[in-house]
Amino acid sequence: MKRLLSFMFCFGILIFWSSCRNDFEFSPSQGQLEFAKDTIYLDTVFSNIGSSTYNLKVYNRSDEDIVIPTIQFENGTDSRYRMNVDGETGLEGAQEGKFFEDVELLANDSLYIFIETTIDITTLGALENQFLYTDRILFDAGNHQQDIDVVTLVKDAVFIYPSKDEITGTIETLSFDIDGDGVIDDTTTQGRFLTDEELTFTNEKPYVIYGYAGVNPGKTLTMEAGARVHFHADSGIIITDGASLHIDGALSSNPDLLENEVIIEGDRLEPLYEDIPGQWGTIWLYNGSTNNRINHATIKNATVGLLVEGNPNATTDKLTITNSQIYNTSSFGILGRATSISAENVVLNNSGQSSFAGTYGGKYNFTHCTIANYWNSSFREYPALLLNDYIVDENNTVYVNDLTEANFNNCIIYGNDNPEFLLEQQGDVFQFKFSNSLLRFNNLNLSGNGIYDFEDSTFYANNVFNEDPDFEAPYDNKLRIGADSEAIGIGSSEFTVATDLLGNPRSGAIDAGAYIHTTFDE
Burial 44-66 (b: 16+ CB within 10 A, else e): bbbbebebbebebebebebeebb
Q: Let me know if 68 is exposed, middle or buried by CB neighbors in 10 A (0-12, 13-18, 19+).
A: buried
Q: Render pLDDT for 207-222 as a digit per residue (tens, 0 to 9).
A: 999 999 999 999 999 9
Nearest CA-CA partner of 43 in 185, 164, 152, 169: 152
pLDDT of residue 174: 95
Average pLDDT over residues 400-428: 97
Using alpha carbons, select from 71, 86, 232, 56 the residue that is nearest to residue 151. 56
How high is the pLDDT of residue 128?
63
Supply the pLDDT for residue 92: 79
Q: Measured between alpha carbons, how far is residue 31 from residues 27, 112, 342, 389 in Å?
A: 12, 17, 67, 73
| Residue 30: predicted pLDDT | 87
Kindly report the average pLDDT of the chain as a whole number: 92
Residue 25's pLDDT band, with cuts at 50, 70 and 90, is confident
Q: How far apart are CA 511 and CA 494, in angstroms?
A: 13
Nearest to 386 by CA among 416, 351, 410: 351
Judge whether residue 54 has pLDDT over 60: yes
Q: Which residue has the higher pLDDT, 421 or 28?
A: 421
Residues 306 and 285 sit within 8 Å (Cβ to Cβ) = yes
328 CB burial (10 A radius; 0-12, 13-18, 19+) = buried
d(CA 105, CA 146): 15
**Is 279 a residue whose pLDDT tops 90?**
yes
Q: Are 369 and 325 in contact (CB under 8 A)?
A: no
Which positions ≥6 away from 99 have C-beta within 8 Å? 70, 71, 72, 73, 76, 77, 90, 91
Rg of the chain on CA atoms, in Å: 30
Which residues contact residue 6 at a Cβ distance below 8 angstroms, ignoring those fewer than 6 apart? none
Question: What is the tens place of the pLDDT at every residue in 240-273?
Answer: 999 999 999 999 998 888 999 999 999 998 888 9
pLDDT at 28 over 90: no
Q: Which of 18-32, 45-59, 188-202 has the lowest mean pLDDT?
A: 18-32
pLDDT at 24: 56
Select the more confidently predicted residue: 121 or 229.
229
The answer to whether residue 11 scores a pLDDT higher than 90 is no
Count of C-beta atoms within a 10 Å radius of residue 5: 9
Residues 103-155: pLDDT tens digits? 999 999 999 999 999 998 888 865 567 788 999 999 998 899 999 999 999 98
Would you place residue 295 in the very low, low, confident or very high pLDDT band (cuts 50, 70, 90)? very high
Give residue 375's pLDDT.
97
Q: Do residues 319 and 286 lie in contact, with contact meaning Cβ atoms separated by under 8 Å?
A: no
**Strand (E) or helix (H) holding 13:** helix 2-20
Confidence of residue 522 (pLDDT cuts 50, 70, 90): low
Cross-strand bridge partners of residue 339: 362
Q: In this predicted structure, what is the pLDDT of residue 513?
A: 98
User: Which residues are CB-contacts of 320 (< 8 A; sequence separation ≥ 6)?
Assistant: 292, 293, 294, 341, 342, 343
